[in-house]
Amino acid sequence: MDVQQPSAPPGRPPWRRFTGEPIERPIRDAVEEAIRREAAAGHRLKVCIGTDSQVRGAETEFATVIVILREGRGGFMFLHNEKSHIAYSLRERMLVEVSKSIEIAYDLCGLFTEYDVAMEVHADINTHPNFRSHEALREAMGYILGMGFAFKAKPDAFASSCCADKFVG
């Protein structure tokens, strides 16, 4: 008997499309369907995965996005929000963002290899030392590169700093 896993573990909200439409199956299946559809239409693809967060009082909200770019033809994304009541230091929160992105990248990297789709993990961390988030840059970069993924930080990390940023708070 083939049992399909839910799109999100119990108690966690499901992934959804940009339109807000929930994805009622595993995100891996939705991403694979999108890759197949776009490849059949002749599009060359690149995937960028990123997470951003915002603190409001005692709650931290995280938004993770999977951005699928069609070379020269725009793109679309899947997104997921999650809330936490853990009090993080800025450095810890930056590294939690990176770990959320790496978790989904790791879950999907087999698909990207199978379909020859380039993938990057984007970190919402500033490369300029005058910004507080910079203190987590070295660790985040080592974590992402150590997992074998391409790494982008601000100002080139649009998946986290622009896309995911729109869906927190």
Residue-wise pLDDT tens digits, 93-146: 999 999 999 999 999 999 999 999 999 999 988 887 777 777 788 888 888 999
**Containing structural domain, residue 68:** 27-167
Q: What is the domain-level CATH number for residue 135?
A: 3.30.420
Whether residue 16 contacts residue 29, with contact meaning beta carbons closer than 8 Å, is answered with no
For residue 13, the model assigns a pLDDT of 63
* Tally of structural domains, the chain: 1
% of the chain with per-residue pLDDT over 90: 70
pLDDT digits (tens, 9 = 90+) for 25-43: 999 999 999 999 999 999 9
Distance, CA of 95 to CA of 123 (rounded, Å): 9
| Residue 53 within any structural domain of the chain | yes
Whether the Cβ atoms of residue 94 and residue 133 lie closer than 8 Å to each other: yes
How many angstroms separate the CA atoms of 143 and 151, rounded?
Answer: 10
Residue 17 lies in a domain: no
pLDDT top residue among 3 and 98: 98
